[in-house]
Amino acid sequence: MIKLSKIVKIYDSPSGKVHALKGIDLNIAKGEIYGIIGLSGAGKSTLVRCINMLERPTSGNVIVDGQDMMKLSESELRDARKNIGMIFQHFNLLSSATVYDNIAFPLKLSNTSSANIAKKVEPLLELVGLKDKAKQYPAQLSGGQKQRVGIARALASDPKILLCDEATSALDPQTTKSILALIKDINKKFALTVVVITHEMQVIKEICDKVAVISDGIIAEKGSVLDVFTNPQHEITKEFISVLLSNDLPAAFRGNEISAEKVEGSLLLLRLNFLGDKADDPILAQMIRNCQGVECTMLFGNLDEIHGVPFGRFIVGLSGNESSIQDALNFLSNKEVRVEVIGYVRRNSSIAD
């Protein structure tokens, strides 16, 4: 549905040239919810605005729904943009127009009759849950309600694509959840292709199928949300994920030196990631049974879910003689569990028993 190839965007600013995008390749399939995550200034807004040509790339190709966007005339572009709705962090509503008129605005621009406008706006009000607010003005609405108006307005011209630029960044966590649920709902209902720009991994985890991590105008990594979450490659991705999945050591070990060698009184700490069916497999019990002399202490455990796939994260501490520990590591490496060896760490003496 969206194919970006070798997108470069250079801004001319008073202080010189800004290389906002440095060669971006991205394919987004029809009906997909594709997340783009990055820090402030990474180039996310520039990238998403290249999809509807609000920004014209300095070079590269933008194909949307089979059309080469770079080659369209102004009037062809206006038509093509009807296919692409957009919502924003600060909603961009007309403050002097009612909820109804805000939603009707794109239809009025294209000279739709008021009877046809009503046929379109009424069900949209219903869809976003604002039927009783039609005559109110934006100033009378909460942030979440304003974004619902934004969504209804974006859907008024029956787009095939919805671009969301930090659409939930100004909202509290509860409202964010409800707006994300609405976006997911319309994605399903209308087979809408959705591009979600965010700096929050929670947003990606909540609704996206795929994710691209953008850093300094380059895509650092991309893939299915499940793959990227369970096996992040790039440091910046790990940082984004660590907000959701703590990488801290358990309190009893925190601050102590981590050593590759066994130290008297230390445990070998392992971080284990289990995925899918394996998340509730008795792998650890089997390990203890199979590996004579190894003891396994559970230090941290968390079972989560990404798109209905169970995803378990554990930190365990192994003790025993070196050969039994090696047996245990060999055992785990033959199982479908991702093992990260943290190292030998001693318990804090104050907490130790």
* Bridge partners, residue 274, by sequence: 312, 337
Tokens at 133, concatenated: 């607010």
Output DSSP code: residue 236: H
Contacted entry of ligand ADP, Mg ion, none for residue 123, CB cut-off 5 to 8 Å set by kind = none
Q: Can you point out the beta strands (E) in 65-209?
A: 67-68, 84-88, 161-165, 193-198
- SS3 string, 247-308, reads CCCCCCCCCCCEECCCCCCEEEEEEEEEEHHHHHCCHHHHHHHHCCCCEEEEEEEEEEEECC
Stretch that binds Mg ion, among 39-47, 102-110, 120-128, 207-215 (CB under 5 A): 39-47
Binding window for Mg ion (CB under 5 A); candidates: 44-52, 132-140, 187-195, 282-290: 44-52
Smallest separation, CB 17 to ligand ADP (Å): 9
In sequence order, what are the residues at sequence separation of 6 or more whose Cβ sits closer than 8 angstroms to the Cβ of residue 122? Answer: none
Integer-rounded Cα Rg, in Å, for the chain is 25
Give the single-character DSSP code of 318. Answer: E
- Rounded CA-CA distance 55/70 in Å is 11
Query: CB 220 → ligand ADP: shortest distance, Å?
Result: 13
Contact flag: residue 20 with ligand ADP (CB under 6 A): yes
Tell me: does residue 13 bind ligand ADP (CB under 6 A).
yes
Shortest distance, CB of residue 40 to Mg ion, whole angstroms? 7
CB 36 within 8 A of CB 209: no
Residue nearer to ligand ADP on the CB measure, 162 or 197: 197
C-beta of 194: minimal distance to Mg ion in Å? 17
Rounded-to-integer distance, Cα 162 and Cα 48, Å:
10
Q: For residues 315 and 253, is the Cβ–Cβ distance under 8 A?
A: no
Smallest separation, CB 174 to ligand ADP (Å): 25
Q: Is 176 in the site for ligand ADP (CB under 6 A)?
A: no
Which partner, Mg ion, ligand ADP, none, binds residue 11 by CB below 5 to 8 Å per kind?
A: ligand ADP
| 42 contact, one of Mg ion, ligand ADP, none, CB 5-8 Å limit per kind | ligand ADP
- Which listed range, 19-27, 40-48, 106-114, 226-234, lies at the site for Mg ion (CB under 5 A)? 40-48
Closest CB 312 distance from Mg ion, rounded Å: 34
Residue list 37-66, contact with ligand ADP (CB under 6 A):
38, 40-46
| Secondary structure (3-state) at 141 | coil
160 near ligand ADP (CB under 6 A): no
Among 20, 45, 237, 306, binds Mg ion (CB under 5 A): 45
Helical axes 99-109 vs 114-127, angle rounded to 10° = 130
User: Does 26 interact with ligand ADP (rule: CB under 6 A)?
Assistant: no
Q: Which one, 103 or 204, has the nearer CB to Mg ion?
A: 204
Q: Which one of 45-53, 141-149, 172-180, 227-235 is the stretch in contact with Mg ion (CB under 5 A)?
A: 45-53
What is the rounded CA–CA span in Å between residue 272 and residue 11? 45
What are the residues binding Mg ion (CB under 5 A)?
A: 45
What are the residues binding ligand ADP (CB under 6 A)?
A: 11, 13, 18, 20, 38, 40-46
